[in-house]
Chain A
Amino acid sequence: MSSDISYVTYTLLAVVAGLIFVPVFLDGEPDGPPMALLHQSSVGPTRHKNESAIHRSRETPVGFPLRQGLGIQEGYSKRNGDVRDIWRVFMQKIGHLHTILGNDKVVHSIDTLDAEIDTLGHYISGLPTNSQRKAIAVYLPNSAENLIAGFEACAFHDFTFVPIEYPAEPEIIADKLRASNAEILIMPAASLDINDLNVSTLLKHVILVVEEGSRHLDFAADPDAKVTLKEWHDIAANGQKATRPEKIDESQPHMIVFSKDLKLQKAVTVPYSHVNIVAAVSAQATAPAPKDQFKPTDIFTPASTLADQFTRILTYTAMLSGCTITINAVTPPSGSLQSSCGNALPSIIVVPADSLSDIGRLSKAAQVEIFHEWMHVYQLRKLTRYGQVPQHSAFARFNDYDRPNLGRNLRLIYVAENPAEGTKPITCNRLNDIRAIFFSKVVYALTYPPAAAGAITQTTSFDYRPGEDTATFNESHLGAPLSCVEVKLRDAGEYTAEHEDGPMGEIVIAGPSVTSSGEYATGIIARWRSDGCLSMGSKA
């Protein structure tokens, strides 16, 4: 039959060989083991009658202790550490702190900042206050001062740290000052009329942060002021240095967070202890797959306000890993994402959920021509079929005009769902759109500030499985618990552990990062999927 072989046969042979061998060489490996996505949490073997089984991180399975702290090696033993150790490790690993001012980058000297911790600590310790323990409200945009105030205020000199979101209306700031009983306020110069705040609050002392260009003006000399005024740079330059206390009182709240309790339907102030924060930070540091974890070469930019506890915990995690922290005062939602971190060329960012969701939605809508859509479909196929984040390429630049340009370093985006703020869940498919738009992995976390510091559950960094959306329901899930909490669902009304669609009920959590000592019932209804992920569902 040798006479049967013609050019057609040879062509077909080449096609078949190509179809077999080209994928072998060009498809590449998925970003993570696909089978690991099928069992994402360690499930308890028993459950109580009106509850689901306990779900835990696979790092700390049922029967093992939950992650408690940083595990700082000291001699032959390990200790849990506290927030001060994060700054110490940051200095030890020679991390960098940069601030972006417009198009300029300010490189801070860590030693100078370290000295500022002591001069400010000395100044604040000397201020007369009524309460025994000093509470310091920090009303600052994202800045080095904001970060330093956190360490100075809370950690090293044992004050209570009260971050207030910037910008806010004076009434809201007054409310928060009243709720936290703060007598000391750190704020940007000339951003508020202090005498307004003073009327209804305990406020006695104000420290003004003045930007470099305005330091020739004397903001502290206000004859009408009913509070003592002092400028930050004045204290830093001329203040005395305090010695840091050896021991701090770990039973006292370290940080006060403002949130809304969904069960009580009202605003609450939530105290976080050192243990809460340290557990959340250490769990966050080990949560991503090893090759996605924070590394000293990473550039971390919080593109979300540092008053948000999730952003702050992630910033601490980045500091613990010795990353370069690049801070910009502009953050979404008040500024655009590109203006917030475009100049920083970050590799890891934190973005507010609604802003990221909007970027995904708007970029998708801007794909007008058919080839934009083809490109996008090709990139989604890369994600869902081959488990790889699409790469930058000449073809991918077709869609460049509709996406924020954050540079080519970006590899990980953190975004948190916060039911207390009523953010709309981001569906699996929307997350894949966002991955394709940013050429980056996305970690989607569940936070609930009244219940626990940091995230409660978060998705695996390489989980790109598509969602099966229907007309009435869009699939979304929030991943498996972090190693510092255990999560179960308690029956609530029609949502029971024996539900045919999987165990459902109210989220109940316990562990070192949880604000109450025992279990905390959140009042949020969720469902366990068969792969161990927590799902909150989303109406289309």
Chain B
Amino acid sequence: MADPIRPLIVETTKIMEAQPPAITEAIPLVTPLNLFLFSLAAYLIYMRFKPSPIPTIDAPEPIVYTAYTPRTLLKYNGTDDPRILLALKGKVFDVSSKPMFYGPGASYSLFAGRDASRGLAKGVLDQSLLTPLDQKLDTLEDLTADERETLQGWFDQFVGKYLVVGELVNEGEEGTVQEKQ
């Protein structure tokens, strides 16, 4: 006689002894991809709350308006000092932006660091027209009307193109410019 319980026990034992179904391996929390994404998110949040410095730009230093004498002006001829200055009708112009005209070896280079008034008025590039350094400033009184007009033309062009950075005065008169202003 068959034991009615027996098959059940067998079945149960089979089920119990059977291999558990292969559980897919749990994905670990810390994977390279997760780490990367997490650090990216942290970086983005940091960037959002990072105190941003207020940007500033340094303004260029303004040039001091100075009284030059023929001797102090001589230095600014492009060789001794990178700045090139020249004087016209008593005003000193900064022509450093055009070294192709006034730089060393260029066509107008003899005017660099000198009083160019007489030379430009006459339209002649000649050393003899430059006032010697030990003499008083050129008053330009003997110029003809034509030459005066030419000189004024040059002066207006210079005022439009270059910066007036000072005045040319006789030696010993440097203080008077300050007082006039």
Neighbouring B residues of A39 by C-beta, 8 Å: 57, 59
Contact with B along A6-29 (1 / 0, CB 8 A): 101100110110011001000000
Smallest CB-CB A-B distances: 9 pairs: A12-B37, A53-B62, A19-B44, A47-B62, A6-B27, A4-B31, A38-B57, A15-B41, A46-B63
Docked-complex contact A49 and B57, CB < 8 angstroms: no
Q: How far is the CA of A485 from the CA of B58 in the complex (A)?
A: 24
A48 within 8 A of B: yes
Docked-complex contact A48 and B181, CB < 8 angstroms: yes
Contact with A46, one of B48, B59, B163 (Cβ below 8 angstroms): B163
Contact with B55, one of A1, A4, A6, A38 (Cβ below 8 angstroms): A38
Q: How far is the CA of A186 from the CA of B63 in the complex (A)?
A: 54
Neighbouring B residues of A48 by C-beta, 8 Å: 64-65, 178, 181
Docked-complex contact B41 and A16, CB < 8 angstroms: yes
Docked-complex contact A47 and B64, CB < 8 angstroms: yes
Neighbouring B residues of A52 by C-beta, 8 Å: 62
Q: How far is the CA of A45 from the CA of B56 in the complex (A)?
A: 19
B165 within 8 A of A: yes
Docked-complex contact B37 and A46, CB < 8 angstroms: no
Neighbouring A residues of B165 by C-beta, 8 Å: 46
Docked-complex contact A13 and B54, CB < 8 angstroms: no
User: How close is A51's CB to chain B, nearest CB, in angstroms?
Assistant: 9
B10 within 8 A of A: no
Q: Within residues 40 to 69 of chain B, which ones have a CB less than 8 A from any CB in chain A?
A: 40-41, 44-45, 48, 52, 54-60, 62-66
Q: How far is the CA of A460 from the CA of B178 in the complex (A)?
A: 35
Neighbouring A residues of B54 by C-beta, 8 Å: 465-466, 468
Name the residue of chain A whose CB is nearest to the CB of B53.
Answer: A468
Q: How far is the CA of A539 from the CA of B59 in the complex (A)?
A: 26
Contact with B along A191-234 (1 / 0, CB 8 A): 00000000000000000000000000000000000000000000
Neighbouring B residues of A43 by C-beta, 8 Å: 59-60, 62
Neighbouring B residues of A15 by C-beta, 8 Å: 37, 41
Docked-complex contact A47 and B34, CB < 8 angstroms: no
Contact with A20, one of B44, B52, B181 (Cβ below 8 angstroms): B44
User: How close is A417's CB to chain B, nearest CB, in angstroms?
Assistant: 22
Name the residue of chain A whose CB is nearest to the CB of B36.
Answer: A12
Chain A positions near chain B (C-beta within 8 angstroms):
1, 3-6, 8-9, 12-13, 15-16, 19-20, 23, 34, 38-39, 43-50, 52-53, 385, 465-466, 468, 530-532
Q: Within residues 140 to 157 of chain B, which ones have a CB less than 8 A from any CB in chain A?
A: none
Contact with A along B152-181 (1 / 0, CB 8 A): 000000000001110000000000001001
Interface residues on B, range: 20 to 34
Docked-complex contact A45 and B62, CB < 8 angstroms: yes
Contact with B57, one of A6, A13, A385, A530 (Cβ below 8 angstroms): A530
Q: How far is the CA of A4 from the CA of B29 in the complex (A)?
A: 9
User: How close is A530's CB to chain B, nearest CB, in angstroms?
Assistant: 5
B23 within 8 A of A: no
Name the residue of chain B whose CB is nearest to the CB of A45.
Answer: B163
Docked-complex contact A530 and B58, CB < 8 angstroms: yes
B33 within 8 A of A: yes
Neighbouring A residues of B41 by C-beta, 8 Å: 12, 15-16, 19
Docked-complex contact B33 and A1, CB < 8 angstroms: yes
Contacts A4-B31, A9-B31 known; list 5 others, CB within 8 Å. Answer: A12-B38, A12-B41, A15-B37, A16-B44, A34-B55
Q: How far is the CA of A45 from the CA of B65 in the complex (A)?
A: 10
Name the residue of chain B whose CB is nearest to the CB of A385.
Answer: B52
Name the residue of chain B whose CB is nearest to the CB of A27.
Answer: B48
Docked-complex contact B31 and A49, CB < 8 angstroms: no
User: How close is A288's CB to chain B, nearest CB, in angstroms?
Assistant: 22
Contact with B164, one of A13, A16, A34, A46 (Cβ below 8 angstroms): A46
Q: How far is the CA of A468 from the CA of B52 in the complex (A)?
A: 13
Q: How far is the CA of A9 from the CA of B29 in the complex (A)?
A: 9
Q: A46-B65, A48-B178 are in contact. Are A8 and B29 (CB under 8 A)?
A: yes
Docked-complex contact B65 and A47, CB < 8 angstroms: yes
Neighbouring B residues of A50 by C-beta, 8 Å: 178
Q: How far is the CA of A284 from the CA of B31 in the complex (A)?
A: 63
19 A-B pairs with C-beta separation under 8 A: A1-B33, A5-B33, A8-B29, A8-B34, A9-B37, A12-B38, A12-B41, A16-B40, A19-B45, A23-B48, A38-B56, A39-B59, A45-B60, A47-B63, A48-B178, A49-B65, A53-B62, A531-B56, A531-B57
Q: How far is the CA of A49 from the CA of B64 in the complex (A)?
A: 6
User: How close is A491's CB to chain B, nearest CB, in angstroms?
Assistant: 12
Name the residue of chain B whose CB is nearest to the CB of A465.
Answer: B54
Neighbouring A residues of B57 by C-beta, 8 Å: 38-39, 530-531
User: How close is B47's CB to chain A, nearest CB, in angstroms?
Assistant: 9
Q: How far is the CA of A20 from the CA of B62 in the complex (A)?
A: 44
Q: How far is the CA of A531 from the CA of B54 in the complex (A)?
A: 11
Neighbouring A residues of B44 by C-beta, 8 Å: 16, 19-20
Q: Within residues 90 to 137 of chain B, which ones have a CB less than 8 A from any CB in chain A?
A: none
User: How close is A23's CB to chain B, nearest CB, in angstroms?
Assistant: 7
User: How close is A506's CB to chain B, nearest CB, in angstroms?
Assistant: 16
Q: Within residues 7 to 44 of chain B, which ones have a CB less than 8 A from any CB in chain A?
A: 25, 27, 29, 31-34, 37-38, 40-41, 44
Neighbouring B residues of A34 by C-beta, 8 Å: 55
Neighbouring B residues of A16 by C-beta, 8 Å: 37, 40-41, 44
Neighbouring A residues of B163 by C-beta, 8 Å: 45-46
Neighbouring B residues of A3 by C-beta, 8 Å: 25, 27
Q: How far is the CA of A263 from the CA of B56 in the complex (A)?
A: 34
Q: A9-B33, A16-B41, A43-B62 are in contact. Are A49 and B55 (CB under 8 A)?
A: no
Q: How far is the CA of A46 from the CA of B34 in the complex (A)?
A: 60
Q: How far is the CA of A43 from the CA of B61 in the complex (A)?
A: 10
Neighbouring A residues of B31 by C-beta, 8 Å: 4, 9
User: How close is A519's CB to chain B, nearest CB, in angstroms?
Assistant: 10
Neighbouring A residues of B59 by C-beta, 8 Å: 39, 43, 530, 532
Q: How far is the CA of A39 from the CA of B106 in the complex (A)?
A: 37
Neighbouring A residues of B56 by C-beta, 8 Å: 38, 530-531
Docked-complex contact B62 and A49, CB < 8 angstroms: no
Name the residue of chain B whose CB is nearest to the CB of A11.
Answer: B37
User: How close is B158's CB to chain A, nearest CB, in angstroms?
Assistant: 14
Contact with B33, one of A4, A44, A466, A531 (Cβ below 8 angstroms): A4
User: How close is B160's CB to chain A, nearest CB, in angstroms?
Assistant: 10
Docked-complex contact A46 and B33, CB < 8 angstroms: no
Neighbouring A residues of B48 by C-beta, 8 Å: 19, 23
Q: How far is the CA of A468 from the CA of B54 in the complex (A)?
A: 10
Docked-complex contact A49 and B52, CB < 8 angstroms: no
Q: How far is the CA of A468 from the CA of B51 in the complex (A)?
A: 12
User: How close is A18's CB to chain B, nearest CB, in angstroms?
Assistant: 9
